[in-house]
Structure 1
Amino acid sequence: MKKLISPQVAASLITDGSRIMVGGFGLVGSPLTLIHSLFLSGVKDLEIISNNLGEPGRGLGVLVRNKRVKKGIGSYFTSNPDVVKAYQMGELDIELIPQGTLSEAIRAGGAGLGGFYTPVGVGTLIASGKEEKVIENKRYILQPSLKADFALIKAHKADTQGNLVYTKSARNFNPNMATAAKIVIAEVDEIVEVGELSPEEIVTPHLFVDYVVKKEVEMP
């Protein structure tokens, strides 16, 4: 299967109502080219799992501002005032998950686990509706794992087979997301031939990656 596709073809694979994991911490490690193509495609009613929903008019913030996102699942949404406004107006559903719990829920989804017990959030609104259990005299809540239809991730380099290498903090949620979705689309800065990447630097093996897109949109 040919893995290298255009951003437009990548966006065309995603349909209304899809659940999508999107890498990034702020805009760092965020697949901006794929997000821009998703915006141009007109797809709507998306459920997005991401640390945050971009910034005003930037990254995932473009989709929020144009009312394309139905629900956001993540940790830090207040960095984008458009998200707060959309939530207050009833246009956007939000599920808050502590950042470490979010990362582990994605990892658990990729590992085939149904969920895990965590003490984080016990006694708060985050625990509402969740099973609670006492283990060794300590209270825990059950956090279900997270999976998605698509994962849009960002890496630094890929070879033509789809092996991925990341850079510093831009790595963030991306490797975990690559394991937890049915279809994984990786946006990369550079594409090299097979054999040019050291096996020791490869973080995401090609078996997890369905498609690769070359970056076109720079961070604003």
Structure 2
Amino acid sequence: GQRTQLWWDLPVRESLALLRDMYDLSPDRFRAQLKRFDEVLGLDELLPVVARKLSLGQRMRADLACALLHDPRIVFLDEPTIGLDIAVKDRVREFLRQLKAEGTTIMLTTHDLGDIEDTCERIVIIDGGRVIYDGSLAQVKDRYARERRVHLQLGSELTVTELADRFPQATVTAGAEGRREFTVAFDKAELTAGAVLAGVAQIAEVLEVKIDEPAIEDVVRKVYAGELLLVEGRTS
């Protein structure tokens, strides 16, 4: 996290070696862990670098290796993907999913809601030091992120009225290309994307489809803006 485990004036390799001795890892296990971290974090290029010369993203990669070197059963990570480029961030998230699948408990504190969506099953939202939600991430999505948007590119012309008449429970808007481009917005509890596509296909040729789902970030943003009150959903 934000407090490094690296010794400031030592190469990353030496910091890891010290942690190896602290955790009493065998040489074979240590080498296997370094190989694993290199595959996910690109660790090899950082090993000879003195810690104080690392960039923020490089330090986060090295610190992740330090935190996970001894295969802990519980891992606390503070902003684990801060400073990482998109490619490395995706690899780190995939690695965390692997750890979770292997039985490791992971606790994240992060402002990057992508980390939570990709990794976590439970979410705790804190505002002003007060817990305002503690429950299932799936429950938050199911209750508060129900809107879906189907963007359609058609091969023939229709009007907004024609589409709206077929889907009275949805909101239909025209796109940039007028009578050939539309967006159908609806509550997933009342309508499905499949039903929209099937209904449109009966009256027009569908050339392209894009389906948007709200991210958990949208829900949390509304909570902090006072636009949404989450119902308490504590998990055991």
TM over 0.5: no
The structure that has the greater radius of gyration is: 2
Decide which structure has greater helix share. Answer: 2
TM-score range, shorter chain: under 0.3
TM-score w.r.t. length of structure 2: 0.24
Decide which structure has greater strand share. Answer: 1
TM-score w.r.t. length of structure 1: 0.25
